[in-house]
Structure 1
């Protein structure tokens, strides 16, 4: 089984961290292919960058030649998941929905700890659209930007713990989800200090992908995620037109 893990931003070091966690989480015999878009924002912290990233991710999917059995989209609540489900024949897993689904199997309520406060409404919107918001006790921001997560691991863990403790003590969350792909690899440290289950969306999505592919299932194509209708899309895929040699 081969799983494609796609970092929605263009920061290669973050792709490497996400790849390492995915490989660590995968079963023996599962191969992880990890990549990022060929163009787009270095991090995603708002609707504008999210919209750009969604197109860049779809562009990467349209031009990637390696075969794979499932896709894990490693942006927490970023747009474009539904479009990828239309574009691809393989099952698609978003790390925000995967984390929330797994968290609800572990406790009655869960919280999400993410990056900047401006990301909170976007994550809540994603969970609402997915039907997962009802059991979400809170979504809390650490105040750290996406790229700041990699600068100082100790500072990042402490910032996550501050908000996670508040989610547990004040919001009565029973499980905490790490709300950014850039937090990959921090779950064990946070869980050891927090004392409640902590879910990393990348690991959860890889596990769900293995289960779904193992059962021989994929996205339903009968209605909502039917393939795009054949038509001319000018200059698509965009990356082919950006290359010097066409």
Structure 2
């Protein structure tokens, strides 16, 4: 049986679900099945630019990850560069590997260079992202954040203008901040990395692709070598029978999945 990877869009609308499923389908390994889901959340519909919004969807993310574990997905991606609910989701994921874009992209960047810069939409995002990078132990590699002056819903309204701003920001990061790798710091910055990389001459990491391929790779390692999430000490999950089932913590009827695109591998 092939690998199964679920990508969670951490908002309550499904505009880009099919596009992301198609993009991942173009780069997946033979035999990998992909599911892209968005949340069923009427309060947070378009972005998580604010930490208050992040708080409102964290429980939804945990429930959807738990459902993925029950459905025997090999890996799940929490699809936002803030990596919302990552540690909480990992605690309850069973044998399912859980990945998120910030951690995946920064680890990749530090394998390709000594310093990286992150292209963000608004300066507002920098504090949350920097705290994550510090938590992961990679703050020494952070050269800078460079903002575009765009919100999450704006990236694809005028792609030519977004591209122009990305090129200018990347050039400043390389020339002024001495960045050796550029990370696109939002999953909706998809579709821009290749041309930008050709123009600026350093690796440009599409965080959505980086997270998906890391999830796929870790899923493969789990299958081959049994390297699955630890379940002792800090990784210990709640008691399955005494609490989860007895208290009906994760009732199937409560799984908040809205839109869904299933993209199975075809031989």
Q: Please, what TM-score do these two structures have when normalized by structure 1?
A: 0.90
The match for 1:8 is: 10
Aligned residue runs from structure 1 range 1-246, under 5 A: 1-39=3-41, 40-41=43-44, 42-63=46-67, 66-89=71-94, 90-216=96-222, 217-229=227-239, 230=243, 240=254
Deviation at 1:149, TM superposition (A): 1.1
Deviations 1:39-80 (A, max 9, x none): 141211111011112222223334567441101111002320
The RMSD of aligned alpha carbons is 2.3
Deviation at 1:227, TM superposition (A): 0.9
Q: Do 2:67 and 2:255's aligned partners in 1 also have CA atoms closer than 8 Å?
A: no
Higher relative contact order (CA 8 A, sep 6+): 2
The match for 2:263 is: none
Q: Do 1:38 and 1:60's aligned partners in 2 also have CA atoms closer than 8 Å?
A: no
Q: Which runs of 5+ in 2 are unaligned?
A: 257-267
Q: Which runs of 5+ in 1 are unaligned?
A: none
Change in Cα spacing, 1:239 to 1:219, as seen in structure 2 (3 Å) is same
In 2, Cα distance between equivalents of 1:35 and 1:241 = 11
Deviations 1:159-207 (A, max 9, x none): 2222111111110000001100101121112112221111112211222
Q: Which moved more, 1:185-194 or 1:12-21?
A: 12-21
Q: How many residues align?
A: 243
Deviation at 1:150, TM superposition (A): 2.0
SS of the residue corresponding to residue 137 of structure 2 reads coil
SS of the residue corresponding to residue 9 of structure 1 reads coil
Q: Please, what TM-score do these two structures have when normalized by structure 2?
A: 0.83
